[in-house]
Structure 1
Amino acid sequence: MARPTSPLLSRGGILAAALELVDADGDFTMPRLARALGVSSSSLYHHVPGGRSDVVEGLRNLVCAGRMPTERTGSEGWRAFAEHWARGYRGAMAAHPHVVPLLTTQTVSDPAVLASYEALVHVLVQDGFDDATALHVVAVLDCFVLGSALDAGAPAQVWADDDGSRPHLSRAVDAARSRPGDRSATTFELGLTSLLTGLESAREGGDA
């Protein structure tokens, strides 16, 4: 029998199938991934030799690479760059919120994603943050973005609505629901502005 002219598997195809499983069910296993692709589990390791951890890091690249900036543009200051970085990161993760718990279980090692973190630290240090504080700023932004991405995937009704026993919460829920736009996106913008304003104050005050 003649050999196929193209391989049945590719790293890109494996990662795309894994992302479909995660989007649908929140996780994947190597055996289930193999079944979805119609191949044996052992054949996957030719393309993802690190197994599950390799696939997870590949998902980080698939979801985030190209969505997070790797250099500042023009006269973009640290705050503008951080906004750009956070919005790109949040947009990538909010599109696939079930990926977030998987990515937080292992060290970030994808070169393309690390290049964006490198750029953020570089901009922060250039604009007055010391090295240690710059890393804390990155971690704060990381936590905020990932939390917001999870919020984007939350149920439409996050809080049980009962104006009889929780009138203040119920009124707030009703008020937010009556406003146009996506609640999670609005929450993200409010939080990002507040967060960056606080970091700016710390930097100007000498705490950064």
Structure 2
Amino acid sequence: MARPTSPLLSRGAILTASLDLVDVAGDFTMPRLARALGVSASSLYHHVPGGRSDVVEGLRGLVCAGRMPDQRVDGEDWRAFAERWARGYRGAMAAHPHVVPLLTAQTVSDPEVLASYEALVEVLVQDGFDDATALHVVAVLDCFVLGSALDAGAPAEVWDDDDERRPRLSRAVRAAESQPGDRSAATFELGLGSLLTGLELAHRSGAAAEGA
């Protein structure tokens, strides 16, 4: 049997190659993606008819696959689910921080990712949040997670260390650097706990006001 004259393509191969480009260069173009795969640019559109936007949304699904929960477990309240959701989402995005700006530039439409968002809203509403507040909570968590993912991909030296002009900042930087583990991950854990505690207090206050 004769071998194909050009490499066999698939949607999965296209997404994997595009993620490799984004991880290295921070972005991709359809012509550059085609060159990386050794095919013509026109052949890509048989598998990603929407072109660049189709690929970007495919990257969302690829990066998040299996990382974002779509249902709560027994005995899990909204805070525990939101915590698990945020950790899974952050883990997915922090592994590929350069993809974050691409994803935030277009509407979320990947079915599996949307199912996880749906589950988060459902848990919040089931546990007493009204619809509008539930959406605000989702947006707050979304912004925090994506910001934390960008922090994970930041340079090792985030703040210019100048002990003479900024002694307090420099001292804080060195203190954080002396702690074991990843600074960005520790920052995420501090922020997530603070954020969820604040949301919990606001939720309790709102519930108390409604019952008064």
**Are positions 1:31 and 2:31 aligned together?**
yes
What is the deviation of 1:66?
1.0
Counterpart in the other structure of 2:93: 93
Q: Distance in 1 between matches of 2:100 and 2:197?
A: 26
Instruction: Give secondary structure in 2 for the equivalent of 1:147.
Output: helix
Query: What amino acid is the match of 1:165?
Result: R
Q: Distance in 2 between matches of 1:137 and 1:66?
A: 22
Q: Distance in 2 between matches of 1:65 and 1:114?
A: 12
Tell me: CA distance 1:7–1:170, structure 2 relative to 1, closer, same or farther (3 Å).
Answer: closer
Instruction: Give secondary structure in 1 for the equivalent of 2:206.
Output: coil
| CA offset digits 1:160-202 (Å, max 9, x no partner) | 0011000100110011011111000000000000000000001
Counterpart in the other structure of 1:121: 121
Query: What amino acid is the match of 1:55?
Result: V
Q: Distance in 2 between matches of 1:61 and 1:123?
A: 22
Q: Distance in 2 between matches of 1:173 and 1:7?
A: 50
**Contact 2:70–2:115 (CA under 8 A) maintained in structure 1:** yes
Q: Distance in 2 between matches of 1:73 and 1:58?
A: 28
Counterpart in the other structure of 2:162: 162
| CA offset digits 1:90-109 (Å, max 9, x no partner) | 00000000000000000000
Query: What amino acid is the match of 1:69?
Result: P
Counterpart in the other structure of 1:139: 139
Count of residues in Structure 1 that have an aligned counterpart in Structure 2: 208
Counterpart in the other structure of 1:40: 40
Q: TM-score normalized by structure 1?
A: 0.97
What is the deviation of 1:7?
6.9
Moved over 4 A (4+): none
Counterpart in the other structure of 1:51: 51
Q: Distance in 1 between matches of 2:2 and 2:196?
A: 61
Instruction: Give secondary structure in 2 for the equivalent of 1:135.
Output: helix
Query: What amino acid is the match of 2:169?
Result: L
Tell me: CA distance 1:138–1:2, structure 2 relative to 1, closer, same or farther (3 Å).
Answer: same
Counterpart in the other structure of 1:108: 108
What is the deviation of 1:2?
3.7
Q: TM-score normalized by structure 2?
A: 0.95
Q: Distance in 2 between matches of 1:40 and 1:50?
A: 16
Counterpart in the other structure of 1:187: 187
**Contact 2:7–2:39 (CA under 8 A) maintained in structure 1:** no
Counterpart in the other structure of 1:171: 171
Q: Distance in 1 between matches of 2:21 and 2:110?
A: 21
Q: Distance in 1 between matches of 2:183 and 2:145?
A: 15
Counterpart in the other structure of 1:20: 20
**Unaligned stretches of 5+ in structure 2?**
none
What is the deviation of 1:3?
6.2
Counterpart in the other structure of 2:202: 202
